[in-house]
Amino acid sequence: MTSSGSEPNRPGEFALIAELFVPLATAPGAFCLSDDAAIVMPPPGHDLVVTADTLVEGVHFFASDPPDLIAQKALRVNLSDLAAKGCVPAGYLLALSLPSQIEMPWLRAFASGLATTQRDFGISLLGGDTTATPGPLSITVTAFGQVPAGAMLRRSGAHAGDVVLVSGTIGDAGGGLACLRGEGVGLSDVDREFLVHRFRRPEPRLALGQALIGLASASIDISDGLLADLRHLADTSSARIEIDAARVPLSPALAALWPDETDRIIRAATAGDDYELAFAVPPENCAAVVRSAGRSGIPIAQIGVVKRGKGVTLRDSTGRPIPVSRPGYVHF
């Protein structure tokens, strides 16, 4: 792990790494963070899968969010990408840009969130970089996973006739974000806490993704919004996807937050930050997927079908398309 920058308010930065991060570098290839680089290798017969995601204060989380949950989210969104690809996670690199006002208590809580997540998923810190920044706190995680050689689930591969499924419930994180922005004043504490928790602490569906290997024809995790991410899957598969709005699984808490049914489904399907899996399955594999998913304990629901053509359509119970002005998170 290397480091650079300049700012006080914290102990010497090598002391900081020694206290906070070396204990997290449990894999042999991390060399206790004492070298310029790490070694990461999948077991024989496996491919190494890599992914990276950046979280920026004020864009992806609030400065006031609990630091251990910020750490958990930074790891979990990356693990969600690995889940969508059917991987077993192995480790990660952490590149941390720290504003001067971040002090040791905050960093200790952040490191404890990393430690919790490492235990939850059996992974190790492998290395990274710490630097000072005059800007907002920024966290880039590069995550490593392994998958049987040639078996990585892809976004491409969905065919006309395949069934489209999702895990969990959709829109909760968007509801949680809305609560943090002042909506849902009449909501019960339990509903509000449920939604905010879903925003702050996504659940990477690793067991489900691994169970889908050899069964699903295409898979993606929902980060930008159900419709936006299905659009990615449809485009990459050169296919069209039709979603039955009434079948999209929504939580009771979300129904309490957004009482209007049409408004609710549109907001849920475009909110993003769900980190549920959306995937296509050939009809002949559906029974096996239901059994596999059942063993993983993760609820799944059929929400639509793959057809010839392009694009994604959300249909109401009468079969009419529901107009959606913006399919997902606003990109620049």
Positions 32 through 51 that interact with a copy of itself (CB under 8 A):
34-42, 47-51
- Residue 329 binds a copy of itself, judged by CB under 8 A: yes
Residues 48-67 that bind a copy of itself (CB under 8 A): 48-54, 56, 58-60
- Residue 22 binds a copy of itself, judged by CB under 8 A: no
Which residue in 93, 234, 278, 293 binds a copy of itself (CB under 8 A)?
Answer: 93
Residues 6+ apart with CB under 8 A from 318: none
- Residue 135 binds a copy of itself, judged by CB under 8 A: yes
Comparing CB distances to a copy of itself, the nearer of 2 and 188 is 2
| DSSP letters spanning 210-234 | HHHTTT-SEEEE-SS-HHHHHHHHH
Torsion of CA 72, 266, 317, 282, to 10 degrees: -40
Retrieve residue 303's tokens. 């929400």
Q: With contact defined as beta carbons under 8 Å apart, do 74 and 178 qualify?
A: no
- Residue 12 binds a copy of itself, judged by CB under 8 A: yes
Comparing CB distances to a copy of itself, the nearer of 77 and 256 is 77
Backbone angles phi, psi at 134, to 5 degrees: -80, -5
Which residue in 113, 128, 171, 202 binds a copy of itself (CB under 8 A)?
Answer: 128
Q: With contact defined as beta carbons under 8 Å apart, do 87 and 117 qualify?
A: no
Give the three-state DSSP class for 120: helix
Whole-number Å distance between alpha carbons of 294 and 300: 8
Residue that the structure tokens 């959709």 belong to = 170
- Residue 101 binds a copy of itself, judged by CB under 8 A: no
- Residue 138 binds a copy of itself, judged by CB under 8 A: yes
Which residue in 75, 82, 195, 254 binds a copy of itself (CB under 8 A)?
Answer: 82
Nearest of 198, 197, 169, 182 to residue 269 by alpha carbon = 169
Stretch that binds a copy of itself, among 95-103, 159-167, 248-256, 289-297 (CB under 8 A): 95-103
Comparing CB distances to a copy of itself, the nearer of 183 and 235 is 235
- Residue 204 binds a copy of itself, judged by CB under 8 A: no
Which residue in 20, 69, 71, 87 binds a copy of itself (CB under 8 A)?
Answer: 87
Q: With contact defined as beta carbons under 8 Å apart, do 267 and 226 qualify?
A: no
Which residue in 19, 65, 129, 244 binds a copy of itself (CB under 8 A)?
Answer: 129
